Amino acid sequence: MKTVGDLLRDARRRLADPAEAEILLAHALGRERAWLYAHPEHPPTTQEQGRFEALLARRLAGEPVAHLTGWREFWSLPLRVDRHTLIPRPETEHLVEFVLERLPAEPPQRVIDLGCGCGTIALALARERPHWEILASDRSGGALAVARDNARRLGLDVTFLHADWLAGIVGPFDLIISNPPYVAEGDPHLEQGDLRFEPRGALTAGPDGLDAIRRLVAQAQPRLRPGGLLAFEHGHDQGAACRELLEQAGYTEVATGLDLAGLSRFSHGRRRT
């Protein structure tokens, strides 16, 4: 009978990221990862080993770990994800940090997260600013179902709307925020890694990847309060193009924020007062 230690050693040799072995085995056993370290001699049942081997085979075939477990942590929040939603990335936390620093906590702000997916940005903001009025929209009914479930389970107050960007949504807002599609159609990265399993409509936006951002920049301005902030994530090589779009549309205080690697990660601007 194989032990926890045996299964981990074998899986670590087979996976590119050894930490994934712990995540998958803990999920198969219904345990926390710390439990694995404390019980390396524990012999999982035949059924548990079978679950683990099935998960391991699917991961080796390329399926994202988040889809195999159904969860991904963001902003220390355990978020449920599935095939209808993008998998939250830690890079998006830079955008959340920026708006929390830039907007005053008081008075309460009126905020909308566009293309909210599993609720990543909206729920992080709701956790930090529970007195703000936070809305979130998505055109995918499947994504909204996941986001609503995350909000309910976490006890966070967010109003979810089924909408195509800002169509039919009335302002004004102090903040419009988004992690929109920004990958160019035909980008070879779409056929690599986790991107192969994520909803293509939440990833791609035209030949240059900027179609959704153009629409966002145009629609947001009349729905912002004077001085209101628009902030959105984009690709590492799209900062200059996004700043140009914002400036051409008449936004002020236009700038691009960087991630920890020093790469362009998000851009922002304010509606003129």
> Which pLDDT score, from 0 to 100, does residue 209 have?
84
Give percent above pLDDT 70 in the chain: 97
State pLDDT tens for residues 58-92. 999 888 999 999 999 999 999 999 888 888 999 99
State pLDDT tens for residues 228-244. 999 999 999 999 999 99
Q: What is the mean pLDDT of the chain?
A: 91
- Say if residues 84 and 199 touch (Cβ distance below 8 Å): yes
> Which pLDDT score, from 0 to 100, does residue 117 have?
93
State the pLDDT confidence band at 118, using cuts at 50, 70 and 90: very high
- Say if residues 152 and 161 touch (Cβ distance below 8 Å): no
State pLDDT tens for residues 165-200. 898 898 899 999 999 998 878 777 767 777 776 777
- Rounded Cα–Cα distance for residues 120 and 93 (Å): 9
The sign one gets for the Cα dihedral 53, 58, 61, 62 is negative
- Rounded Cα–Cα distance for residues 40 and 6 (Å): 8
Q: Between the CA of residue 228 and those of 222, 223, 266, what are the distances in Å?
A: 10, 9, 17
> Which pLDDT score, from 0 to 100, does residue 169 have?
92
247 backbone φψ class: left, alpha, beta (φ>0; ψ -120 to 50): alpha
> Which pLDDT score, from 0 to 100, does residue 190 have?
67
pTM: 0.89
> Which pLDDT score, from 0 to 100, does residue 18 have?
87
- Rounded Cα–Cα distance for residues 177 and 43 (Å): 48
State pLDDT tens for residues 88-106. 999 999 999 999 999 999 9
Q: Please give the DSSP secondary-structure letter assigned to residue 121.
A: H
